[in-house]
Amino acid sequence: MRHEFSAVIERDGKWFVGWCPEIPGANGQGLTLEECRQNLAEAIQLILEDRREDALRGAPADAIHEVLQLA
């Protein structure tokens, strides 16, 4: 699994509304299914970037900071 997240998408009138169960607060919407997917992907990316920045604020200046890649 690499950079994979679940997307739950429902129809609400003329809108598609989606959320990601693994990332609380990640929601998206769109008039088309693709628009909803793209909006949700952007929300996931923004939340993860914000959480990383927030978490690193408390790291000591001399700490080793690496990025791990999961296969």
Q: What is the mean pLDDT of each run of 10 residues along the chain (71 residues)?
A: 86 98 97 98 96 90 87 69
Q: What is the pLDDT of residue 21?
A: 97
Q: What is the pLDDT of residue 1?
A: 45
Question: If you count DSSP H runs as helices and E runs as strands, how many of each does the chain have, helices first?
Answer: 1, 3
Q: What is the pLDDT of residue 9?
A: 98
Domain positions in the chain are 8-56
Q: What is the pLDDT of residue 67?
A: 84
Residue 11 pairs in a beta bridge with 16
**pTM score of the predicted model:** 0.84
CB 21 within 8 A of CB 6: yes
